[in-house]
Amino acid sequence: MATALLSPTFIVLALVIAYPLLSAVYQSMFSSQSGLDADGFVVEGETFVGIANYLDIFTGSDSPRFYNALWNTSFFTFVSVSLETVIGVAFAVMMNRAFKGRAFLRAAILVPWAIPTAVSGLLWRWIFQSNGIANELLNQEILWTAEGMSAQIAVITAEVWKTAPFIGLLVLAGMQIIPEEVYEAAKLDGASGWRQFWSITLPLVRPALLVAVLFRLLDSLRMFDLPFVLIGPRKSSVETLSILAWDESNQLNYGAASAFSIILVIYVAIIAFVFIKLLGANVAGDSEEKSVRRMRTARRKAAR
């Protein structure tokens, strides 16, 4: 009975995930070639090359560009998600407090996350242009949308501005299920506000925080639209694996583009697996009994 009820879900997953993935694997084993036949006519078509596209990516002519894109992808992901986590938790702490105008603050903080990424990229491109707000505030003329570290800083700034509220929203949801009695008991035991945060708030919101960070890791690893709109394609300092795959497909090199896409999928899967195994991100959530034990442990730590 359960299998019958879940069968529509399995069918949809097979259509939107399995089929495109298998098609990409199949396409990655072919190479688009063109040339002249014996009579001098142009001949175009696809030739089966096996794993040659993958070998070329790792050790051939495409390897320098691939490793640069892999580094950019990893760098943007690590730096932006780290900053988003710190800022997002700070947002959640502010939004969880009772004060006048709290509803307005919550709405204002969530606005960047609600803006489409392409629109956000255009907004920050205007801010980072040569005569834009950023240079006016710094009183310098920095070419933010060109190449180099300045372009990377521009991408990270725009990414953190847009997605830190997402982590803040999920952490806030985790904070609001913590009973107020836990904090009141900690206050009676003499725990300071800072001690309550480290011993009660952070341990109890850890499941929600880890899930939020996991979602952001997976989303950031496939970063495409923000650097594409903000800086542009074919910029080595901000070229990610997704942009590299797009560029290959734009040049009708579908075999190489599919190979880049498959490598990105494998990379994302490895990061997700390692993150869940090492840090214990509980995607399914805790049981009620485990949540109660967590609260009791947090209260004892705060009272020490």
pLDDT value, residue 6: 75
3-state secondary structure string across 82-101: HHHHHHHHHHHHHHHCCCCC
| pLDDT (tens digit per residue) in 74-115 | 999 999 999 999 999 999 988 888 777 778 888 888 889 889
Question: Which residues are within 8 A (CB) of 232 and not within 5 positions of it... i.e. 6 or more apart?
Answer: 145
**Rounded CA separation 99/224 (Å):** 39
pLDDT value, residue 282: 55
Q: Per-domain residue ranges for the chain?
A: 43-303
Question: Which residues are within 8 A (CB) of 147 and not within 5 positions of it... i.e. 6 or more apart?
Answer: 235, 236, 237
Angle at 166 between CA 161 and CA 172, to 5 degrees: 120
Main-chain phi, psi angles of 159, to 5 degrees: -65, -45
Pick the CATH number of 43-303 from 1.10.3470.10, 2.40.290.10, 1.10.3720.10, 3.40.350.10: 1.10.3720.10
pLDDT value, residue 154: 94
pLDDT value, residue 79: 96
Handedness of CA 196, 199, 202, 206 (dihedral sign): negative
For the chain, 304 residues long, the average pLDDT of each consecutive 10-residue run is 75 82 90 61 71 90 91 95 94 83 82 91 92 89 87 95 92 87 80 82 88 92 92 91 92 89 93 82 52 54 53
pLDDT value, residue 278: 77
